[in-house]
Amino acid sequence: MADQSFQPTLSQLRAFVAVAEHRHFGTAAARLKVSQPTLSQALASLEQGLGVQLVERSTRKVLMTTAGSQLLDRARATLEAADGFTVAASGLGGGLSGPLRLGLIPTVAPYVLPALLPALRREYPALEPFIVEDRTERLLASLRSGAIEAAVLALPTEESGVVDLPLYSEDFVLIVPSGHPLDGRTDLTLSALVDQPILLLDEGHCLRDQTLDLCRSVDAVPAAGDTRATSLATVVQCVAGGLGVTLVPRSAVAVETAKGNLGVAEFADPKPGRTMGLVYRASSARAEEYGAIAASISSVGAGLHA
Protein backbone atom coordinates (compact mmCIF):
# COMPACT_ATOMS: atom_id res chain seq x y z
CA MET A 1 0.00 0.00 0.00
CA ALA A 2 1.21 3.49 -0.82
CA ASP A 3 2.47 5.82 1.89
CA GLN A 4 -0.12 8.64 1.84
CA SER A 5 2.60 11.13 2.80
CA PHE A 6 4.80 10.09 -0.14
CA GLN A 7 5.64 12.88 -2.60
CA PRO A 8 7.42 11.80 -5.81
CA THR A 9 10.51 13.77 -6.77
CA LEU A 10 10.98 15.20 -10.25
CA SER A 11 13.98 12.89 -10.71
CA GLN A 12 11.78 9.87 -10.01
CA LEU A 13 9.12 11.05 -12.44
CA ARG A 14 11.72 11.78 -15.13
CA ALA A 15 13.11 8.26 -14.69
CA PHE A 16 9.62 6.77 -15.07
CA VAL A 17 8.78 8.80 -18.18
CA ALA A 18 12.14 8.11 -19.82
CA VAL A 19 11.82 4.34 -19.28
CA ALA A 20 8.21 4.42 -20.51
CA GLU A 21 9.16 6.27 -23.70
CA HIS A 22 12.29 4.29 -24.57
CA ARG A 23 11.32 0.89 -23.10
CA HIS A 24 15.01 0.40 -22.37
CA PHE A 25 16.88 1.28 -19.16
CA GLY A 26 20.21 1.95 -20.85
CA THR A 27 18.74 4.31 -23.42
CA ALA A 28 16.63 6.08 -20.80
CA ALA A 29 19.66 6.55 -18.54
CA ALA A 30 21.70 7.97 -21.42
CA ARG A 31 18.93 10.44 -22.24
CA LEU A 32 18.82 11.65 -18.65
CA LYS A 33 22.61 11.62 -18.40
CA VAL A 34 22.62 9.41 -15.31
CA SER A 35 23.96 5.93 -14.65
CA GLN A 36 21.67 2.96 -15.18
CA PRO A 37 21.78 1.96 -11.46
CA THR A 38 20.78 5.53 -10.53
CA LEU A 39 17.86 5.38 -12.95
CA SER A 40 16.76 1.95 -11.69
CA GLN A 41 16.90 3.11 -8.08
CA ALA A 42 14.84 6.22 -8.84
CA LEU A 43 12.15 4.15 -10.53
CA ALA A 44 12.16 1.52 -7.79
CA SER A 45 11.82 4.21 -5.11
CA LEU A 46 8.89 5.73 -7.00
CA GLU A 47 7.13 2.37 -7.25
CA GLN A 48 7.77 1.64 -3.58
CA GLY A 49 6.44 5.02 -2.50
CA LEU A 50 3.35 4.71 -4.69
CA GLY A 51 2.76 1.09 -3.76
CA VAL A 52 2.23 0.08 -7.39
CA GLN A 53 4.37 -1.50 -10.08
CA LEU A 54 4.78 0.85 -13.04
CA VAL A 55 6.86 -1.30 -15.41
CA GLU A 56 7.65 -4.97 -15.82
CA ARG A 57 11.35 -5.66 -16.21
CA SER A 58 13.01 -8.57 -17.96
CA THR A 59 16.41 -9.18 -19.48
CA ARG A 60 15.08 -8.48 -22.97
CA LYS A 61 12.32 -5.90 -22.73
CA VAL A 62 10.40 -3.44 -20.60
CA LEU A 63 6.60 -3.52 -20.50
CA MET A 64 4.20 -0.98 -19.06
CA THR A 65 1.80 -2.23 -16.41
CA THR A 66 -1.82 -1.10 -16.39
CA ALA A 67 -1.04 1.25 -13.51
CA GLY A 68 1.99 2.62 -15.36
CA SER A 69 -0.05 3.33 -18.48
CA GLN A 70 -2.72 5.10 -16.45
CA LEU A 71 -0.20 7.27 -14.59
CA LEU A 72 2.14 8.10 -17.49
CA ASP A 73 0.24 11.13 -18.82
CA ARG A 74 -0.05 12.55 -15.29
CA ALA A 75 3.71 12.17 -14.83
CA ARG A 76 4.34 13.98 -18.12
CA ALA A 77 1.93 16.76 -17.18
CA THR A 78 3.68 17.19 -13.83
CA LEU A 79 7.08 17.46 -15.47
CA GLU A 80 5.78 19.91 -18.05
CA ALA A 81 4.29 22.07 -15.31
CA ALA A 82 7.57 21.97 -13.38
CA ASP A 83 9.57 22.91 -16.48
CA GLY A 84 7.11 25.72 -17.20
CA PHE A 85 7.50 26.99 -13.64
CA THR A 86 11.29 27.07 -14.03
CA VAL A 87 11.04 28.90 -17.35
CA ALA A 88 8.63 31.44 -15.90
CA ALA A 89 10.85 31.96 -12.86
CA SER A 90 13.86 32.63 -15.05
CA GLY A 91 12.01 35.62 -16.52
CA LEU A 92 12.92 34.56 -20.07
CA GLY A 93 14.71 37.86 -20.49
CA GLY A 94 18.14 36.27 -20.35
CA GLY A 95 17.41 33.75 -23.08
CA LEU A 96 15.69 30.39 -23.36
CA SER A 97 17.15 27.40 -21.58
CA GLY A 98 16.58 23.73 -20.86
CA PRO A 99 15.38 20.81 -23.00
CA LEU A 100 12.98 21.27 -25.91
CA ARG A 101 11.72 18.21 -27.81
CA LEU A 102 10.79 19.57 -31.24
CA GLY A 103 9.05 17.55 -33.95
CA LEU A 104 9.34 18.28 -37.67
CA ILE A 105 7.73 16.62 -40.67
CA PRO A 106 10.10 14.94 -43.18
CA THR A 107 9.45 17.54 -45.92
CA VAL A 108 10.73 20.27 -43.58
CA ALA A 109 13.44 18.79 -41.35
CA PRO A 110 16.25 18.22 -43.93
CA TYR A 111 15.90 21.74 -45.33
CA VAL A 112 15.27 23.81 -42.20
CA LEU A 113 17.53 22.12 -39.62
CA PRO A 114 20.91 22.96 -41.25
CA ALA A 115 20.17 26.65 -40.69
CA LEU A 116 17.86 26.39 -37.67
CA LEU A 117 20.10 24.46 -35.27
CA PRO A 118 23.08 26.85 -35.61
CA ALA A 119 20.68 29.79 -35.23
CA LEU A 120 19.26 28.35 -32.01
CA ARG A 121 22.77 27.76 -30.67
CA ARG A 122 23.69 31.39 -31.37
CA GLU A 123 20.50 32.93 -30.02
CA TYR A 124 19.80 30.56 -27.10
CA PRO A 125 23.03 28.80 -26.07
CA ALA A 126 21.40 27.35 -22.94
CA LEU A 127 18.61 25.70 -24.93
CA GLU A 128 18.89 21.91 -25.42
CA PRO A 129 16.90 20.95 -28.53
CA PHE A 130 16.01 17.31 -29.19
CA ILE A 131 14.76 16.65 -32.73
CA VAL A 132 12.04 14.16 -33.70
CA GLU A 133 11.31 13.71 -37.42
CA ASP A 134 8.02 11.99 -38.17
CA ARG A 135 4.78 12.23 -40.13
CA THR A 136 2.06 14.66 -39.15
CA GLU A 137 -0.32 12.16 -37.56
CA ARG A 138 2.38 10.64 -35.38
CA LEU A 139 3.77 14.02 -34.34
CA LEU A 140 0.31 15.13 -33.25
CA ALA A 141 -0.04 11.92 -31.23
CA SER A 142 3.34 12.58 -29.62
CA LEU A 143 2.25 16.14 -28.86
CA ARG A 144 -0.95 14.94 -27.21
CA SER A 145 0.91 12.36 -25.11
CA GLY A 146 3.62 14.76 -24.02
CA ALA A 147 6.43 12.92 -25.82
CA ILE A 148 7.31 16.21 -27.59
CA GLU A 149 6.67 19.82 -26.63
CA ALA A 150 6.09 21.38 -30.05
CA ALA A 151 6.06 20.48 -33.74
CA VAL A 152 6.58 22.17 -37.11
CA LEU A 153 3.64 21.13 -39.29
CA ALA A 154 1.63 22.28 -42.28
CA LEU A 155 -1.39 24.34 -41.22
CA PRO A 156 -4.20 24.04 -40.46
CA THR A 157 -3.91 21.01 -38.19
CA GLU A 158 -7.63 20.93 -37.28
CA GLU A 159 -6.52 19.48 -33.93
CA SER A 160 -8.32 20.45 -30.74
CA GLY A 161 -6.37 21.49 -27.67
CA VAL A 162 -3.40 22.93 -29.55
CA VAL A 163 -2.19 26.39 -30.55
CA ASP A 164 -1.03 27.02 -34.14
CA LEU A 165 1.58 29.75 -34.66
CA PRO A 166 2.01 30.54 -38.40
CA LEU A 167 5.67 30.55 -39.41
CA TYR A 168 5.99 31.11 -43.14
CA SER A 169 4.28 30.32 -46.44
CA GLU A 170 5.96 28.80 -49.45
CA ASP A 171 4.84 27.82 -52.92
CA PHE A 172 5.10 24.44 -54.61
CA VAL A 173 7.41 23.91 -57.58
CA LEU A 174 7.12 21.22 -60.23
CA ILE A 175 10.26 19.10 -60.59
CA VAL A 176 10.65 17.47 -64.02
CA PRO A 177 13.38 15.51 -65.81
CA SER A 178 15.99 17.69 -67.49
CA GLY A 179 14.84 18.60 -71.00
CA HIS A 180 11.17 18.01 -70.23
CA PRO A 181 8.77 20.24 -72.24
CA LEU A 182 7.81 22.08 -69.02
CA ASP A 183 11.43 22.61 -67.89
CA GLY A 184 12.07 26.30 -67.26
CA ARG A 185 8.46 27.43 -67.53
CA THR A 186 7.34 30.08 -65.02
CA ASP A 187 3.73 30.47 -66.14
CA LEU A 188 2.17 27.11 -65.33
CA THR A 189 -1.44 26.74 -64.28
CA LEU A 190 -2.70 23.75 -62.33
CA SER A 191 -4.10 22.36 -65.57
CA ALA A 192 -0.49 21.59 -66.54
CA LEU A 193 -0.73 18.67 -64.10
CA VAL A 194 -3.29 16.95 -66.31
CA ASP A 195 -1.80 14.02 -68.21
CA GLN A 196 1.50 14.29 -66.30
CA PRO A 197 2.75 11.17 -64.44
CA ILE A 198 2.77 12.76 -60.97
CA LEU A 199 4.79 10.84 -58.40
CA LEU A 200 3.66 10.95 -54.77
CA LEU A 201 5.14 10.34 -51.35
CA ASP A 202 3.84 7.33 -49.46
CA GLU A 203 0.62 7.53 -47.45
CA GLY A 204 0.77 9.54 -44.25
CA HIS A 205 2.76 12.47 -45.63
CA CYS A 206 0.87 15.76 -45.69
CA LEU A 207 2.60 16.75 -48.95
CA ARG A 208 1.01 13.70 -50.57
CA ASP A 209 -2.43 14.84 -49.42
CA GLN A 210 -1.80 18.41 -50.59
CA THR A 211 -0.67 17.18 -54.01
CA LEU A 212 -3.72 14.92 -54.34
CA ASP A 213 -6.00 17.85 -53.48
CA LEU A 214 -4.42 19.92 -56.25
CA CYS A 215 -4.76 17.02 -58.70
CA ARG A 216 -8.43 16.60 -57.86
CA SER A 217 -9.08 20.29 -58.43
CA VAL A 218 -8.20 19.87 -62.14
CA ASP A 219 -9.11 16.18 -62.55
CA ALA A 220 -5.45 15.18 -62.86
CA VAL A 221 -4.59 11.56 -62.11
CA PRO A 222 -1.32 10.66 -60.31
CA ALA A 223 1.10 8.23 -61.94
CA ALA A 224 -0.06 4.64 -62.05
CA GLY A 225 2.16 1.79 -60.91
CA ASP A 226 3.81 0.52 -57.75
CA THR A 227 6.46 3.22 -57.26
CA ARG A 228 6.45 4.21 -53.58
CA ALA A 229 8.79 6.45 -51.61
CA THR A 230 8.95 7.52 -47.98
CA SER A 231 11.30 10.46 -48.59
CA LEU A 232 11.21 13.45 -50.89
CA ALA A 233 14.80 12.71 -51.94
CA THR A 234 13.74 9.32 -53.30
CA VAL A 235 10.78 10.76 -55.21
CA VAL A 236 13.01 13.39 -56.82
CA GLN A 237 15.55 10.77 -57.85
CA CYS A 238 12.72 8.82 -59.48
CA VAL A 239 11.95 11.98 -61.45
CA ALA A 240 15.61 12.24 -62.49
CA GLY A 241 15.34 8.64 -63.70
CA GLY A 242 12.44 9.52 -65.97
CA LEU A 243 9.65 7.91 -63.97
CA GLY A 244 7.50 11.03 -63.72
CA VAL A 245 7.25 14.53 -62.24
CA THR A 246 6.55 15.71 -58.72
CA LEU A 247 5.63 18.74 -56.61
CA VAL A 248 8.04 19.91 -53.92
CA PRO A 249 8.03 22.89 -51.54
CA ARG A 250 10.34 25.70 -52.64
CA SER A 251 12.56 25.25 -49.57
CA ALA A 252 13.54 21.80 -50.88
CA VAL A 253 14.40 22.80 -54.45
CA ALA A 254 18.06 23.77 -53.99
CA VAL A 255 18.93 20.61 -52.04
CA GLU A 256 16.96 18.13 -54.11
CA THR A 257 18.00 19.40 -57.55
CA ALA A 258 21.72 19.75 -56.73
CA LYS A 259 22.64 16.39 -58.30
CA GLY A 260 21.49 17.43 -61.75
CA ASN A 261 19.40 15.72 -64.45
CA LEU A 262 16.41 17.71 -63.18
CA GLY A 263 14.44 20.70 -64.34
CA VAL A 264 12.21 23.16 -62.53
CA ALA A 265 8.88 24.62 -63.60
CA GLU A 266 7.05 27.29 -61.62
CA PHE A 267 3.39 28.24 -61.39
CA ALA A 268 1.89 31.61 -62.21
CA ASP A 269 -0.02 33.48 -59.52
CA PRO A 270 -1.91 32.40 -57.54
CA LYS A 271 0.76 29.81 -56.83
CA PRO A 272 -0.18 26.59 -55.02
CA GLY A 273 1.64 26.16 -51.73
CA ARG A 274 1.46 25.60 -48.01
CA THR A 275 1.72 27.47 -44.73
CA MET A 276 3.97 26.06 -42.03
CA GLY A 277 3.31 26.55 -38.34
CA LEU A 278 4.63 25.77 -34.89
CA VAL A 279 2.07 23.73 -32.93
CA TYR A 280 2.04 23.23 -29.17
CA ARG A 281 -0.43 22.18 -26.49
CA ALA A 282 -2.83 24.92 -25.40
CA SER A 283 -2.33 23.80 -21.78
CA SER A 284 1.42 24.50 -21.91
CA ALA A 285 2.91 27.17 -19.66
CA ARG A 286 5.68 27.84 -22.20
CA ALA A 287 3.73 29.93 -24.71
CA GLU A 288 6.16 32.84 -24.58
CA GLU A 289 9.08 30.49 -25.13
CA TYR A 290 7.41 28.90 -28.14
CA GLY A 291 6.74 32.34 -29.56
CA ALA A 292 10.48 33.06 -29.46
CA ILE A 293 11.28 29.71 -31.08
CA ALA A 294 8.66 30.39 -33.75
CA ALA A 295 10.35 33.70 -34.56
CA SER A 296 13.66 31.90 -35.12
CA ILE A 297 12.05 29.28 -37.38
CA SER A 298 10.19 31.99 -39.33
CA SER A 299 13.44 33.80 -40.00
CA VAL A 300 15.13 30.63 -41.24
CA GLY A 301 12.11 29.63 -43.33
CA ALA A 302 11.88 33.05 -44.95
CA GLY A 303 15.47 32.74 -46.11
CA LEU A 304 14.94 29.27 -47.57
CA HIS A 305 11.89 30.00 -49.69
CA ALA A 306 12.83 33.51 -50.79
Summarised one tens digit per residue, pLDDT across range 67-119 is 999 999 889 888 878 877 766 665 444 557 788 899 999 999 999 999 999 99
pTM for the complete prediction? 0.72
**Domain assignment present for 132:** yes
Domain co-membership, 84 together with 114: no
Q: What are phi and psi of 281, to 5 degrees?
A: -65, 135
Which secondary structure element, helix H or strand E, spans residue 143, and what is its range?
helix 136-145
Q: Which residues pair with 246 in a beta bridge?
A: 175
Note if the bond before 270 is cis, omega within 30 degrees: yes
Specify the CATH number for the domain of residue 176.
Answer: 3.40.190.10
Higher-pLDDT residue of 17 and 89 is 17
Amino acid identity for residue 196 in this structure: Q
Rounded to whole angstroms, the Cα distance separating 150 from 146 reads: 9
Domain co-membership, 264 together with 279: no
Domain count across the chain:
3
Domain co-membership, 33 together with 123: no
Domain end call among 90, 125, 159: 90
Domain co-membership, 44 together with 71: yes
Summarised one tens digit per residue, pLDDT across range 236-292 is 999 999 999 999 999 999 999 998 889 999 999 999 999 999 999 988 878 888 999
Domain co-membership, 72 together with 192: no
**Domain assignment present for 2:** no
**Domain assignment present for 194:** yes
